[in-house]
Each structure stands twice: as structure tokens, then as C-alpha cells.
Structure 1
């Protein structure tokens, strides 16, 4: 198992443990979704924390070796990613991403599925997909603009710039920044304060807020699939994948 799930005093913790960079393989995504679907029906769970194991990364993104090489595969991958990440985004319990180290591509999209993001001050975040000739297909283009605005979302997605936790806080991409070494402590305190409230109350607040901000998300996800799926088959994307793998061989 590459995703560990624990529950203590109403706080569930999902830990991606795929060293060294906690890459989100298809199997890891499926495990995350399976845990999320189980927790959704657990009345004893009042808040869910998502984090990466180790010191190097929340998640450095997708495993590029699993990228499809044709258009049909691109569409299928977008469908799978949306389904798996939607399981996390649609959890009835409030969710917190504990962001540290490399938080890139699919890893940042994973953080975007959460309601609250707390980042270690040394974290850096970004979307490298455009550099590979691709579009983020895990909800990045659908969710990011709601947090940072359309112009800044395009800047982050098109430039492939990696930003610091401080910049992410200023943009509205993260909600709190923890001093170095205090991320786990700050997230635990926040989770405990949420878990102290009645579960029915926190679920109702989340449902009400989510309704106000996610109208039309299905259309945006469909657009991401439509525009992003075919790009996996392009020569630019395939060359980038081959070059990436060659550099690391």
C-alpha cells in the first residue's frame, strides 16, 4: 500500500507514501479515492488531512512513465483523474492539505481538492505541464481560477513558474504558512479545532460553501478533458516524455 489511512479522535489522515517524491501513480490515485469513498460514509470522521510522507515532497506530481501516447488514452486518463480526485473533493468532511517540499503538477492538483491548504514556509508549488506540451488533467484548470483568479491562474499554468509558500499565500493558493518544522503541529491543531465541532455542523457548512463556489465545475472539468486529452498524442508531448526519462536514466 502506498497510501496510509489512520483515524484518531475524529481526524483522519491520508498519507501518500511513495518515496522519494511521492509520485501520484495511477495506483496511488486509486488508493486515495478508495480511502476517500470509505471515509465519506464514516460518521466518526469529522475532518480529513492529506499529506505526503517524508521530508522532500507533498507530491512532485504524476509518474510521467504512465503518460498515454495516444488521444484515446489521453481522454481516458483525464476521466480517471477526474473521478479519483472528485472522490476527495466531494468528501462531506472538511479537508486540509499539509503542503511541504515539492508540490507540483498532479501533486498541486491533489492539494486543490482540499478545502484548506497549509504550507510549510520552504514549500514550492507549480504546474510544469505546459513545458511538456500538456494541460493539467486532474482538475487544475477547473479549480485554480476560483482561488487565484483567471489571470493569475493562467500565469501559473502557462509560465510553469514555481512559487514559494509566501507567494502562494499572497495569491490565495494556500491559506496558512507554517514556520519550518511546525507544519505537522499547525495542521494537527487546526484539524483538532475543526473536529471539536459537531460533525453535522461542519458538514453543513462545507456543503453550503461548496454549493456557492462550485456551480459549473462539471462544465469546466469537461472542458479540461476536451482540450487536454488529445495533447498526450502530440509529438511535442511524446518528445518531452522521452527526454525527461532519458535525463533520469
Structure 2
């Protein structure tokens, strides 16, 4: 349910591949994602995407009720992505919801298709967000809009997300992956130590 491809040297594309369940995440999927991210320390371009029309609906509901909603695996995954020295891109092929926000917020860039929506209804379900998520979200969109998403539970369109600064570019679905690869082209062509240093300076 997690697919890893390496289309070019130094490029890893990680795909959430459970489209029949809106790419909702099980404990096994989260664990595999964390292991992949932790192993990607030499990768210069790391792309996260999903199959189908939804990036991820967040935690699988049955798994969430069984304790996944409060699992440390979410934070382990987002920390592993945030610490990668290469360029990290969330290529949002559709809606981004719930706990899946963490991995996207941990990326350096987020690009989305026009139909994507973003929402994080933690209060509705009686859970706190993962520890790093409010800070990362606030750094991108500011405290008021963070509360709009986390406390008011508002569903944000792709265009609003672009205006907020949560999404960096909106692209047609057929151009999503090529855009992600193009955004990483300079990182791949640059000397690795320079690219790593620039990335560290920007964080």
C-alpha cells in the first residue's frame, strides 16, 4: 500500500497506494513511510504523492479508534521528513486531510491539483493534532489561519491554500509529477553539499 520508485538517480517518489480507501493510513503504512523517510538521508529529491483522486484521508477510521490517532508514528514520520537534507515535495494529487497533514507540512514545498482541499478536523473527533503540526502550519499561514483550520475545522480549497501560503503552486493533474521533478531539477544538478547547505539555511 506504499509504493517506492526511483525514476532518477537521487530521486525517490513515495506513493500512498490505497485509493479504494482514499489512501487512509494504517499503522503498517505509517511505519513503512517512517522507515522509508529515515532511510532517505542520501536522497536529493524526495516526493510524496498519492494514487487516485485523494492524497490521503488521514488515519484509517478503524485504526484511529484502535489508537492510531494518538500514535507517535505520525510525529516520527514528520520529523524524519523534516530532517532530510534534500528537497522534499508533497505532490498533492487530491484532498489532504487529518493526520496526513503532518507529512505534507514537513515537506519543503507543497504543490496541488485544483480540486484538492485541505482540512484537519481533530477537534471534531476529540483528538489533539500531532505536536509539530500546529507550529509548522503556523509558520506557513500564521496563527489566525492555523486556528481556522485546527479549531474552526474549516475545509480550505486549493486556491485558498495557495493564497494562505500553505500550497506553493497549483497545477493540472496531468502535470503534477513533472512539475515536482522540475522543481527539484536544480537541486539534482547542483553540487550536493551546496544544495544541502542552502536547504539548511532556509529552515
TM-score normalised to the size of structure 2? 0.90
Alignment of 1:1-249 (within 5 A): 2-7=1-6, 8-20=8-20, 21-40=22-41, 42=42, 45-54=43-52, 56-67=53-64, 77-137=70-130, 139-210=132-203
Over alpha carbons, which structure has the higher Rg? 1
CA distance in 2, matches of 1:81, 1:188: 26
Query: 1:157 Cα shift?
Result: 0.8
Q: Do the aligned residues in 2 keep the contact of 1:85 with 1:138 (CA within 8 Å)?
A: no
> Equivalents in 1 of 2:80, 2:57: separation in Å?
20
1:175-215: per-residue Cα shift (whole Å, max 9, x none)?
111134321221121122321212211111111222xxxxx
- 4+ aligned runs moved over 6 Å, structure 1: none
Q: Which deviates further from its counterpart, 97-106 or 182-191?
A: 182-191
- State whether residues 3 and 16 of structure 1, in contact with CA within 8 Å, keep that contact through their aligned partners in structure 2: yes
Structure 1 contact 105–129 (Cα < 8 Å) conserved: yes
CA positional deviation for 1:78:
4.4
* 1:91 shift after superposition: 1.1
Compared with structure 1, are the counterparts of its residues 199 and 138 closer, same or farther at alpha carbon in structure 2 (3 Å cutoff)?
same
CA distance in 2, matches of 1:100, 1:12: 17
1:140 to partner: Cα distance: 2.1
Q: Distance in 2 between matches of 1:5 and 1:11?
A: 10
CA distance in 2, matches of 1:200, 1:24: 34
Q: CA deviation at 1:63?
A: 1.2
Ranges in structure 1 where 5+ consecutive residues have no aligned partner: 211-249
Say which structure is richer in helix.
1
SS of residue paired to 1:22? coil
Following superposition, the deviation at residue 87 of structure 1 comes to 1.2
Aligned-pair Cα RMSD in Å: 1.9
1:71-129 CA deviation, whole Å, 9 max, x = no partner? xx68x934332122211121111100001212111222221110100111111111122
- SS of 1:96's partner is strand
CA offset at residue 34 of structure 1? 0.8
SS in 1 for 2:48: strand
